[in-house]
């Protein structure tokens, strides 16, 4: 499908892309084929697609997967998709807000062209709501750089650490803005997120980890000792923080952006032992 064909399809369906919802419809068939190939979809896969738009990617996924469950927030698009895929009993279209929806059971892979305005919220909802091993998403290239950043880099921050707790990330390829209608203002990057082993931690430990990370980064220019002790997110006792840092061999004047995900895991454990 080319851009003109997609525009004609939108016109026939009475659909205009909604910029408020971050609607940029993918039409480049070469890119669609690369996405499906990179995701390694198997005949046994039950795929969740978030934000299917006009269904160009949905169609390619449905040709390979056992089933596709697509969640679309736009009522007009959801109606169009139900009509377009009425002939496929393996495709389910839900008109819903993914961020307010209960997890779909039995999903083996997630694929999405994430709307830029709520990409991080969707990624955290996937992280906490789904245990599937692989997620494939398109997102703003700058955000992909933040997720993939290394400790000490300018893009490294709380988002990097928090998502790094749940996923290891691999950047697969960039997608030119002209592959979408309307063309977004930025280049997109297609990434793979592989689930890390979080099963070893209970819910309270995970909550504590998030608190430690938020506390470390709220005062980004503060040394880690001061950031934790003065945190508005928790009440850490100074002596306990000093002892925990020492046990993890972290100098108290280290800044938050210098610590790795493993450092934060160890620090969370050390602080928990001193509560």
Instruction: Determine the 3-state secondary structure of 41 from DSSP.
Output: coil
For the stretch 200-237, what's the b/e string if a residue is b when 16 or more beta carbons lie within 10 angstroms of its beta carbon?
Answer: ebeeeeeebbbbbbbbbbbbeebbbbebbbebeeeebe
Q: Per-residue confidence at 6, pLDDT binned at 50, 70, 90?
A: confident
pLDDT tens-place string over residues 179-228 = 998 888 889 999 999 999 886 788 899 999 999 999 999 976 889 999 99
Pair 97, 21: CB distance under 8 Å: no
Q: Residue 262 pLDDT more than 90?
A: yes
Mean pLDDT of 72-93: 96
Mean pLDDT of 49-72: 97
Model confidence at 2, pLDDT cuts 50, 70, 90, reads confident
The answer to pTM > 0.85 is yes
User: In the chain, what percentage of residues exceed pLDDT 90?
Assistant: 80
Provide the token pair at 1.
Answer: 């499908």
The least confident of 35-44, 62-71, 181-190, 198-207 is 198-207
Spatial separation of the C-alpha atoms in residues 41 and 267, rounded to whole Å:
38
Looking at the predicted structure, is the pLDDT value of residue 35 above 90? yes
The pLDDT assigned to 199 comes to: 66
Given a contact cutoff of 8 angstroms between Cβ atoms, the answer to whether 81 and 57 are in contact is no
68-100: buried (b, 16+ CB within 10 Å) or exposed (e) per residue?
bbbbbbbeebbbbbbebbeeeeebebbeeebee
Q: Is 247 helix (H, G, I), strand (E, B) or coil?
A: helix
Per-residue pLDDT band for 12 (boundaries 50, 70, 90) equals confident
Residue-level pLDDT at 85: 96
Judging by beta carbons within 10 Å of its beta carbon (0-12, 13-18, 19+), is residue 104 exposed, middle or buried? middle
74 versus 133: the higher-pLDDT residue is 74
Q: What is the CA radius of gyration of the chain?
A: 21
Q: What percent of the chain shows pLDDT beyond 70?
A: 99
- Dihedral (C-alpha) 8, 14, 18, 21: value to the nearest 10 degrees? -110
3-state SS track over 48-95: EEECCCCCHHHHHHHCCCCEEEEEECCHHHHHHHHHHCCCCCCEEEEE
- What structural domains and CATH numbers belong to the chain? 3-195 (3.40.50.150), 203-273 (1.10.8.100)
pLDDT digits (tens, 9 = 90+) for 113-170: 998 889 999 999 999 999 877 999 999 999 999 999 999 999 999 999 999 999 999 9
Q: How far is Cα 71 from Cα 76, in angstroms, rounded to an integer?
A: 13
Residue 91 banded pLDDT, cuts 50, 70, 90: very high
In angstroms, how far is the first alpha carbon of the chain from the final one?
A: 59
Place 22 in a pLDDT band, splitting at 50, 70 and 90: confident
Q: What is the per-residue pLDDT for 169?
A: 95
Q: Residue 66: its pLDDT value, please?
A: 98
Task: Dump strand ranges (E) for 151-233.
Answer: 167-175, 180-181, 188-195
3-state helix, strand, coil in the chain (%, to 5): 45, 20, 35
Interior CA angle at 97 toward 48 and 99, to 5°?
A: 80
Is the distance from CB of 228 to CB of 241 less than 8 angstroms? yes
């Amino acid at each position: 499908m080319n851009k003109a064909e997609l525009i004609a399809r939108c016109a026939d369906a009475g659909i205009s892309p909604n910029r408020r919802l971050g609607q940029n419809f993918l039409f480049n068939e070469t890119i669609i084929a690369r996405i499906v190939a990179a995701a390694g979809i198997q005949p046994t896969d039950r795929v969740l697609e978030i934000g299917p738009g006009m269904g160009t990617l949905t169609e390619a996924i449905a040709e390979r997967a056992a089933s596709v469950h697509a969640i679309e927030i736009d009522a007009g698009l959801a109606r169009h998709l139900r009509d377009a895929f009425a002939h496929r009993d393996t495709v389910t279209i839900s008109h819903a807000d993914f961020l307010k929806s209960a997890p779909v059971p039995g999903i083996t892979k997630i694929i999405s062209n994430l709307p830029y305005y709520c990409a991080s919220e969707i990624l955290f909802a996937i992280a906490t709501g789904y245990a599937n091993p692989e997620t494939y998403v398109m997102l703003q290239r700058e955000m992909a750089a933040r997720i993939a950043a290394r400790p000490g880099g300018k893009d490294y921050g709380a988002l990097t650490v928090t998502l790094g707790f749940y996923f290891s990330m691999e950047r697969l390829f960039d997608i030119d803005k002209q592959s979408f209608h309307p063309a977004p203002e930025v280049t997109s990057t297609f990434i793979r997120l592989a689930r890390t082993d979080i099963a070893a931690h209970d819910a309270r430990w995970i909550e504590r980890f998030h608190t430690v990370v938020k506390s470390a980064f709220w005062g980004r220019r503060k040394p880690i000792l001061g950031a934790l002790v003065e945190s508005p997110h928790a009440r850490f006792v100074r002596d306990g923080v000093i002892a925990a840092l020492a046990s993890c061999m972290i100098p108290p004047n280290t800044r938050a952006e210098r610590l790795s995900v493993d450092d934060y895991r160890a620090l969370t454990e050390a602080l928990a032992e001193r509560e």
